[in-house]
Amino acid sequence: MELEQILPVVAGLLGPWLINFLKGLFSLDGKGALWLSAITAVGLGVASMQIAGDMVWEVASVEAILGQAAEVFAVATLVYKQFLAE
């Protein structure tokens, strides 16, 4: 596996703990928590693209950013449902 494939998985593994921390910090639940999860996934996706060297702001496409965010969101959802759900 290459770095571009590993980073979204790593970001997704860390995502649920970050999201839970932010949910507690801002006292969010319901739709607010879902929006926080989506925004956090985009942020982690952009960060993973930046680390991998795929993020060049002049040529970065919305599709690439949302695709990376979708990968992070999917892994984070899986981790949350398997390990952190109440």
Q: Could you report the average pLDDT of every consecutive run of 10 residues in the chain (86 residues)?
A: 85 92 94 94 91 75 90 94 82
* Amino acid identity for residue 57 in this structure: W
Distance in angstroms (rounded) separating the CA atoms of residues 36 and 80: 14
Whole-model pTM: value is: 0.85
What pLDDT does 10 receive? 92
